[in-house]
Structure 1
Amino acid sequence: MIRVGIVGLGYMGRMHYRCWNGLLGAKVTAVCEANPKVLAAAGEPTKGNVGGAADHIDLDSLKVFSDLDALLAAREVDALSITLPTFLHADTTIKALEAGVHVLCEKPMALSVADCDRMVAAADRSGKTLQIGHCIRFWPEYEAARELIRGGTFGRPIAASFRRYSAMPSWSPDSWFADEQRSGGQPLDLHIHDTDYVHHLFGMPASVSSVADVPQSYIATQYRYPGGPAVVAESTWRMAGSFAFEMSFVIVLEGATILYDNNASPAFRVLASDGTSPDLRIPVSDGYAREVEHFSRIISGEPLQPVITPTDARETIRLVLAEKQSAREGRPVTL
């Protein structure tokens, strides 16, 4: 039985709590939360832009800590889900790895490439698993699209566009999302989902060219791949509060078009040029549950190829920071 601790009991902490509790062979045994108001609200419904987070957490069944050092010293856990604000990811992850604990750290990995490098080095020294929670790599429809492309049945990719639209996050107790020094801003928090998927799907581009508003609450990027495909991604936190969250894509292949829109029915479609319909079986799940399951299987000793490595996540940070630089300076940035 894997004993799991969750560090940070906000919206994403509750999401990880739900995912871990859905697994056989794992049990959440401890939580660490420094904010007493967050702990007091553990029995109440939570807010977020995607459903699935636990509406109720029974703290009486868990060991509750307000200090990470105390949690690690108690040796109550084999693995941690770190679901803290981004600026705390690096130091918290390194401390946990050095204590001999496996770590699933929420995305983004960190605010800087230098902090990512410290995390990679700590994982290498410790011999423990570090996985960064890029859930879109595990999202069933995004995973299916990648498999269709890699399978080659419909030829090579010609073009791809990705969209991610949301109102400004309002569920954090101290509005840390709005503080770029703590969150990295919209590009590192929201846009990075599609940036990482572009990286996962097509590799690192030769360069990026981005446009954004002044606080970068909106950003659109062209990723240049010599010889193709043509790839763009757009995201924003500027939607009206009543707007339903959207994540969507259109991928054009030589012999088919793949479409996904989380608000559409059906959400996922493959339109083949010859009129045929591929036999698709999309799992009824989400990327959060699937990334937690993948992590649990790896730390249990299953010989799996990691879907994402710490170095992959580090490169995605480098890519998003290049996008931010491009938008800020009004010029393409070479990777």
Structure 2
Amino acid sequence: MKFRKKGIFFMKQRVLVIGFGFMGQTHAGNLLKNPNAELAGIVDPCDPAERLRTIKGNKATVTITPESVAGVPHYHDMDEALRGCGADAAVIALPTKLHYGSVMKALECGCHVMVEKPFSIDCAECESMIRKAAEQKRILAVGYVVRHMREYEMLRETVKSNRLGRLRYMSLSRYTGIPAWGNWNDPEFIKASGGALFDLVSHDIDFARYCLGEPDSITPDPVLCREMNGNLIAAVLHYPGNNVFVEGGFVTPSHFPFRRNYTAYFENGTLISDAPGDFREIAADGEMRVEDYSHCDPYYTEMDRFLQAIVTGDDAGLCTGEDAMRSICCCHGILSRLNVVEQPGKFQGADL
């Protein structure tokens, strides 16, 4: 089926969702809503309807019901699905340690790929995936969704345009309850996933880079990381003329409400956001501008841009594999500066 959008003829893309936990369900729902896409299948060891009844996330991003996926082909085996469902693209929403093998298989089968963050905590694996995507001439995108949140887009546009003058200081914060999926109290699980640094705080590290490029240096807080078993992180990213303070992580209990905010101080004003969709601009004279972007769905936007990139070949609106790898390198830079004494049951940064 062809359709026309902004002067370009699009083919509806058949997309396979691999992994049907919280994020897989989020992406599947947006594929079902998107006229540019067809949900070609779901890969998961469990029945999708049962997963929808039992999996809960820390944000209300899942918009589908068991009835929504009743007619969607269900596969227990990823290889069978990649061979048999005729997918143009694959969305990979598996535990981090399974990203590499799954991405490589999907690319080898000729699929464009969007993989959930943090891509991989192994930089060599990141490089291999990037090379494979280039060899196969396929789009490789990574799910750093903060880039697609309208209030964060407004912040970046202000930084880039110098509309309020030079950025002097920026603070980015992100906290949520320890995920109910996985075993986030197990140090071995934390090491395999990268812990809060790679799984959560890397969103804001990636966004800082998206705004300002690579930091000159990074200063982390080793005491906080050690005391909270690697599930809380704080660091300062140093840039010429300004600093970016990043903090966040997983806290108990699991139903602790998701909280994130930013404050950016410019020469001629300040930008503030304290909740999803919230955007406030305070001018130097005290006048305040308030915008509500809560109606915008960044996960839908991210998926739509991925689908458009498949057709146009232009991945400028996405977090590419190359860009995600640079964010992962920043995370490793934080780990390398953490003077953490190895103790049984404690976060061991040197092992990552």
Give the TM-score normalised by the residue count of structure 2: 0.86
Helix, strand or coil at the partner of 2:151: helix
Q: How does 1:1-150 map to 2 (within 5 A)?
A: 1-34=12-45, 36=46, 39=48, 41-44=50-53, 46-58=55-67, 59-150=69-160
Query: Given the alignment of the two structures, is residue 197 of structure 1 paired with residue 210 of structure 2, yes or no?
Result: no
Unaligned runs of 5+ in 2: 1-11, 342-352
Displacement of 1:89 in angstroms is 0.7
Equivalences, count:
323
Equivalent residue for 2:234?
220
> In the aligned structure 2, how far is the partner of 1:224 from the partner of 1:303?
31
Displacement of 1:289 in angstroms is 1.2
Equivalent residue for 1:175?
183
- 1:242–1:109: structure 2 CA closer, same or farther, 3 Å change rule? closer
Equivalent residue for 1:231?
244
Equivalent residue for 1:333?
none
Deviations 1:89-146 (A, max 9, x none): 1111011011100101000010211110011011011001110010001111101111
- 1:262–1:169: structure 2 CA closer, same or farther, 3 Å change rule? same
Q: How does 1:232-251 map to 2 (within 5 A)?
A: 232-251=245-264
- Out of 284, 288, 292, the residue aligned to residue 299 of structure 2 is 288
> In the aligned structure 1, how far is the partner of 2:164 from the partner of 2:16?
44
> In the aligned structure 2, how far is the partner of 1:247 from the partner of 1:283?
14
Q: What one-letter code is carried by the residue in structure 1 that aligns with 2:176? A: S
Helix, strand or coil at the partner of 1:223: strand
Q: Kindly, what percent of the aligned residue pairs are identical?
A: 27
Deviations 1:271-323 (A, max 9, x none): 01034556968472132111111101111226462332211000000001111
> In the aligned structure 2, how far is the partner of 1:8 from the partner of 1:324?
29
Unaligned runs of 5+ in 1: 331-335
Displacement of 1:50 in angstroms is 1.3
Q: What one-letter code is carried by the residue in structure 2 that aligns with 1:26? A: A
Helix, strand or coil at the partner of 1:162: strand
> In the aligned structure 2, how far is the partner of 1:289 from the partner of 1:33?
22
- 1:177–1:19: structure 2 CA closer, same or farther, 3 Å change rule? farther
Helix, strand or coil at the partner of 1:327: coil
Give the TM-score normalised by the residue count of structure 1: 0.90
- 1:291–1:160: structure 2 CA closer, same or farther, 3 Å change rule? same
Q: Which deviates more, 154-163 or 15-24? A: 15-24
> In the aligned structure 2, how far is the partner of 1:222 from the partner of 1:279?
28
Helix, strand or coil at the partner of 2:141: strand
Equivalent residue for 1:323?
334
Q: Which deviates more, 135-144 or 241-250? A: 241-250
> In the aligned structure 1, how far is the partner of 2:292 from the partner of 2:248?
28
> In the aligned structure 1, how far is the partner of 2:314 from the partner of 2:109?
24
Contact 2:58-2:258 within 8 A present in 1 as well: yes
Deviations 1:239-295 (A, max 9, x none): 4445321010100000010001117xx822000103455696847213211111110
> In the aligned structure 1, how far is the partner of 2:93 from the partner of 2:307?
16
> In the aligned structure 2, how far is the partner of 1:328 from the partner of 1:106?
29
> In the aligned structure 2, how far is the partner of 1:53 from the partner of 1:218?
26
> In the aligned structure 1, how far is the partner of 2:178 from the partner of 2:146?
20
> In the aligned structure 2, how far is the partner of 1:102 from the partner of 1:260?
34
